[in-house]
Amino acid sequence: MATADRGPRPRRIALSSEDEPRLSPTALIFLVVFVVVIAVAIGAALLFLQVFAGQGPPLGIEVGYDGTTLRIHHTGGVELPPGDYRVLVDGKDRTRDARLENGTGNFSAGRTLALAAPVPVQGVVIRYEGDQGAHVAIAQRYAEEFVPTGPSDPWAMPFPPLATSTPRAAVVPPEEYAFPPAPAPRPLAEEPRPGLVYVAAADSSPIPPGTVLRCDGVGDDVEINDALRQAGTVVLLEGTFHASRRVTVPDHSALLGQGKGRTMLEFENGADPYQPIEVASPYVTIRDLRLQGQGFIRISASHVRVRDVTATSVTGDGRRLPSGGNGMFFVWADRADVEDVEFYACTAYDCSTHGFNMNQDFSDRVPRTIRATRFIDCYAALCGYGEAGGSRSPWITGFDLQESQDLVDCQVTNCIAESNWESGFHFEPGARLDSSGREIGPRTRCEGVVLTGCIAKNNGWRNTDPERFFMSGFYVHRNANLTDCSAVHNRNAGFYVQGGENIRFDGCSDRNSTYGWLIVKSSSGVVLEGCRSDQARIWAIWAAYASRVTVADFTEAGAGAARGVQSMLGWYRDDARYGRPVTDSSFEIAASGPVGTAPITREGSGNRYTVTALPA
């Protein structure tokens, strides 16, 4: 191709080796040092520009929303005078509509901006316009993070919230559910050791004939442990037992109560909250009792059955104690694989840690597997209160079933997660990290996760932690099948897939969560078959940076349709790293929603869309 003539071309002079200019050794050293200094300076400048690009002065905000008015509260950071910032609501500049409550002046720590927002809002961004760095977004909050403040909202909180704020909704007794038919409990292949010993609490009555150890109400763990050493079957009589040290259940043993409303085992140790019922040997059964205070069940052995057990962090006199365990029902692969563990009709309620948790010790950098686990007719509610509220971490969930361990063949049937701090059902997406976030091992393996007939409702609404993130009904990632599962009114998504692959949702539904399905961050091979979203607060489906997503026979009805669409493809929280298209996917949707809104954005490449309108 011919190029335009841009003036005289520079002359090139060829020099022979004799004519080539020469430098003295001192000059040559000086030149090398000069070049290195210049290179370092240029590199530092480029690094500075790269680091500083996309940044601005720090700013923290909280957003309160009552359905008609947005309130944007400055929680700390840079003070912004008028003209130095823009308020973007769903991508539109609403700065002129925003007014400082209680006077005029700068947007500074402790002050609140208010503006009318009568239709559903998905995102609020503060963009910097001053002279301290790039003109970019310096603070943002999205609908799942907004603090509900409406007078009729049962989850409304004071605004701005404190770390210890609680929603208006009162703590109520566990809801009674009529569970659908479920598989029968599986018996153990080997029976308990011979022998039967009864243990009586200080307030037990009547006392049966036979071998009975009597407790005095102080340090009752001593008598219980003694009984477990004597006999294969230990029966705790009706009453309240008070323990201050762990109870250790040997192999081939059964620890039985009289029912989870009749036998109470309360643990309290002010010096050491880690006081489990410890199962480190196989062929153990625990049944028909209630754990209170700091007690929890810790399983690090195979072939274990836990049935009809309730666990709570609340003592008999109403105090909620901190928990030392990572779950009220805790499976821990401690230097060995664990398999064949079943929880049947167990309840974790009002807990300062996870309801159910499975994890491994990775300190020796050896991956271990928890396999063939079953959770049937189990219930986890009001798990987690944030660190300020006494919880051991800000990430507490109802069922946290995969963290650092490999997970194979995990069945969750007819289980319910309700009003938990973060997610209802939670499976971490695979990285093995240390406390600093550094990767320290291979990605976890996950195979054969099956959830059937499970319900997740109202999760995430109590969360006041500034870093709140998950707050979803079901957070799943790889090789999982969910069938006939329901999500109801979760603060973030009903069903959340991040970095996931090979996941099926069959006949699943969401009602009134902020997003029905959230599928993001390099997810692929996700299938929705015969699913539906009703009254999503923002979008029925939100997908970005995803491929090979198949949505068949999907119904979306009454989505809030922020940003003008009922389902969103390609955009992700104003973040170019993850706001990438959805590709090579198909969407078969029957839709109804607000007049004038699009059923779905048609972004990306290689996608097919079949959209039909439902009657209004």
Question: In this predicted structure, which of 89-103, 162-176, 368-382, 413-427 has the lowest mean pLDDT?
Answer: 162-176
CA distance 254 to 232: 6
Question: If pLDDT is split at 50, 70 and 90, which confidence band does 434 have?
Answer: confident
b (16+ CB within 10 A) / e for 29-66:
eeeeeeeeeeeeeeeeeeeeeeeeeeebeebbbbbbbb
- Using DSSP's 3-state secondary structure scheme, residue 95 falls into helix
- Whether residue 292 contacts residue 266, with contact meaning beta carbons closer than 8 Å, is answered with yes
Task: Give the residue-averaged pLDDT of 139-144.
Answer: 97
b (16+ CB within 10 A) / e for 347-356:
bbbbbbbbbb
Decide if pLDDT at 175 tops 80. no
433: which residues sit within 8 A by CB, 6+ positions away? 439, 440
State which H helix or E strand residue 30 sits in: helix 25-52
| Residue 454 confidence (pLDDT) | 97
Domains of the chain: 59-148 (2.60.40), 514-616 (no CATH)
| Residue 46 confidence (pLDDT) | 37
Question: If pLDDT is split at 50, 70 and 90, which confidence band does 170 have?
Answer: confident
Task: Give the residue-averaged pLDDT of 133-145.
Answer: 94
pTM: 0.90
- Whether residue 614 contacts residue 592, with contact meaning beta carbons closer than 8 Å, is answered with yes
CA distance 572 to 563: 13
Question: If pLDDT is split at 50, 70 and 90, which confidence band does 33 have?
Answer: very low
Decide if pLDDT at 42 tops 80. no
Decide if pLDDT at 306 tops 80. yes
> pLDDT digit string (tens) for 441-467?
899 999 999 999 999 999 999 999 999
| Residue 169 confidence (pLDDT) | 85
CA distances from 113 to 91, 321, 445, 547 (A): 17, 39, 47, 40
Q: Is the peptide bond before 394 cis (omega within 30 degrees of 0)?
A: no
| Residue 28 confidence (pLDDT) | 43
User: What is the overall mean pLDDT for the chain?
Assistant: 91
Question: If pLDDT is split at 50, 70 and 90, which confidence band does 603 have?
Answer: confident
Q: What percent of the chain is predicted at pLDDT more than 70?
A: 91
Decide if pLDDT at 361 tops 90. no
**CA nearest neighbour of 249 among 231, 273, 271, 262:** 231
Decide if pLDDT at 16 tops 70. no
Amino acid letter, 349? Y
CA distance 323 to 578: 37
- Whether residue 427 contacts residue 456, with contact meaning beta carbons closer than 8 Å, is answered with no
Task: Give the residue-averaged pLDDT of 173-190.
Answer: 88
Decide if pLDDT at 58 tops 60. yes
DSSP label of 135 = S
Task: Tell the burial category of 18 from Cβ atoms under 10 Å away from its Cβ (0-12, 13-18, 19+).
Answer: exposed
> pLDDT digit string (tens) for 544-591?
999 999 999 999 999 999 999 999 999 999 899 999 999 999 999 999
- Whether residue 92 contacts residue 98, with contact meaning beta carbons closer than 8 Å, is answered with no
What DSSP assignment string belongs to 347-416?
EEEEESSEEEEEEE--TT----EEEEEEEES-EEEEE---GGGT-S-S---SEEEESSSEEEEEEEES-E
| Residue 178 confidence (pLDDT) | 82
CA distance 526 to 342: 29
262: which residues sit within 8 A by CB, 6+ positions away? 238
Point out which residues pair with 305 in neighbouring strands.
285, 342
Decide if pLDDT at 337 tops 80. yes
- Print the SS3 string covering 194-242: CCEEEEECCCCCCCCCCCEEECCCCCCHHHHHHHHHHCCEEEECCEEEE
| Residue 237 confidence (pLDDT) | 98
CA distance 296 to 269: 13
For residue 47 the two structure tokens come to 């690094």
Decide if pLDDT at 45 tops 60. no
